[in-house]
Amino acid sequence: FAPVFRASVALSLPIPQELWGGRVMEKRLQEAQLYKEKGNQRYREGKYRDAVSRYHRALLQLRGLDPNLPSPIPNLGPQGPALTPEQENILQTTQTDCYNNLAACLLQMEPVNYERVKEYSQKVLERQPDNAKALYRAGVAFFHLQDYDQAQQYLLAAVNRQPKDANVRRYLQLTQSELSSYHQKERQLYLGMFG
């Protein structure tokens, strides 16, 4: 008798796109939140470069899930499975927190990249126009970029939301001093030209 070999055939049923996409989205949302928490921990430890790396990784996990952005990954993002309202909330909150935290980290690193601080703060303010921390950080960035009119606008909004915050008040005073000095020099220049 010759041995009988039976080929075992595993049934491979296709997983519906909605389930696969939903699982992938859920996993990426969870991983993004985990990276964000690790970034927060590194920030508290004063390890700002490592924190920046974690926040960027969190944002990479979310890339393609945001229905407002074009997706680099097929079947995810606007043309893929839709996010539930809860997932949409997690996505928006995690992105906003990461951008806000990136701005905070960059302000602690030398040399400070004020253009990036401005960019990240403005991304936060697009979604949360009343975010006092983002208003303050945008004001600081504009101050150091010597755009004192914009700095004053952001810092006035920040001081209205956090009137007792000494840092906000200090930067507002510095900005107003620079504006006053600038306007005085401007007046003297015009007096010299037309006086």
pLDDT, tens only, 74-120: 554 444 567 889 999 999 999 999 999 999 999 999 999 999 999 99
88/21 same-domain check:
yes
Mean pLDDT score of the chain: 86
165/135 same-domain check:
yes
Contacts of 167 (CB under 8 A, 6+ apart): 136
Domain boundary among 68, 87, 110: 110
Q: Could you give the number of structural domains in the chain?
A: 2
Query: Which residues constitute the domain of residue 120?
Result: 115-195
Question: Residue 97 maps to which CATH number?
Answer: 1.25.40.10
pTM over 0.95: no
* Other CB atoms within 10 Å distance of the CB of residue 186: 10
Domain boundary among 63, 95, 110: 110
Q: Is 170 a member of any domain?
A: yes
Cβ-contact 172, 152 below 8 angstroms: yes
By CB neighbour count within 10 A (0-12 exposed, 13-18 middle, 19+ buried), where does 21 fall? middle
Q: Is 11 a member of any domain?
A: no
Contacts of 41 (CB under 8 A, 6+ apart): none
Q: Give the pLDDT score at 190.
A: 73
Q: Give the pLDDT score at 121.
A: 99
| Confidence tier at 65 by pLDDT (50, 70, 90) | confident
Mean pLDDT throughout 29-53? 98
Q: Give the pLDDT score at 154.
A: 98
Mean pLDDT throughout 132-146? 98
- Asked if residue 71 has pLDDT above 60, the reply is no
156/193 same-domain check:
yes
Domain boundary among 110, 136, 159: 110
